[in-house]
Structure formats: structure tokens, C-alpha cells
Amino acid sequence: MPIEEDQARFLRCIGEPTRLQILKLLAEGERCVGELASVLSKEQSLISHHLRVLKECNIVKERQEAQKVYYKLMDAGLARLIIDSEALMKELSLCKCQEVNYEREGNQGSGEGEIRSDS
């Protein structure tokens, strides 16, 4: 399998807003589900679901201590990726488009789409 397919799968896994918020917090250090839910003002069940997805993608790992399970990033490089991508977004004003439309006639499944700008 080409590395680009793995890379695309990885980016889809982290490319969900709640998961990005979780990863941003985990870039600062390990946290338990309750802490993440409290900081993000989201239900623990939702946070647990996203952590399970991130764990299945080998992006986070867990450690149990008494009754609590703590999560942290699998590698420090992931923290750099999250922090650097946010800085890059701000610096270059990237991704100001609304969406990529893959349903355009003739492009279905081709990976090419029409990008519609907000401006």
C-alpha cells in the first residue's frame, strides 16, 4: 500500500474538529477522559468515542492508574504536527474554502473536486 494512502487515512482520522481539540490538549501532556470532557465542555461518552478512534489509529495510547485511564500522544512528533499545523493555518490563512465538492459530474471517485471559496 502506498504511503500516500496511509497518510490520507491518518489525516482523515485526525481531521475531525473534536479530535483536533483533544490532540491539542494531549500535546500539552497526558489527561484522563474526565479532564478532556470538562475542558472541552463535551460529554464523556463523546470524548471516549473519539479517544477510541485515535487509539485504533495508533495516535494515542492509554495508561490505567487506579480507577482512571490516562491518554497521551503516541509520539512527540504528533504534538509538533498539531502545534505546527495550527500555526501554519494562522500564518498562511489556509483552508478558507467552504468544502470540496466531489459530486461534480465526471469527477466521482477521481479524487478531484471543485473548491468553493467563502469570499
Q: What is the pTM of this model?
A: 0.75
pLDDT digits (tens, 9 = 90+) for 66-99: 999 999 999 999 999 999 988 888 888 766 665 5
Domain contains 106: no
Four-residue CA torsion sign, 63, 12, 20, 74: positive
Q: The CATH number of the domain where 15 resides is what? A: 1.10.10.10
Could you tell me if 96 and 117 are in contact, meaning their C-beta atoms sit under 8 angstroms apart? yes
Domain contains 53: yes
Domain contains 115: no
Q: How many domains does the chain have?
A: 1
Q: Which of 69, 93, 79 is nearest to 24 (CA)?
A: 79
* Residue 16: per-residue pLDDT: 93
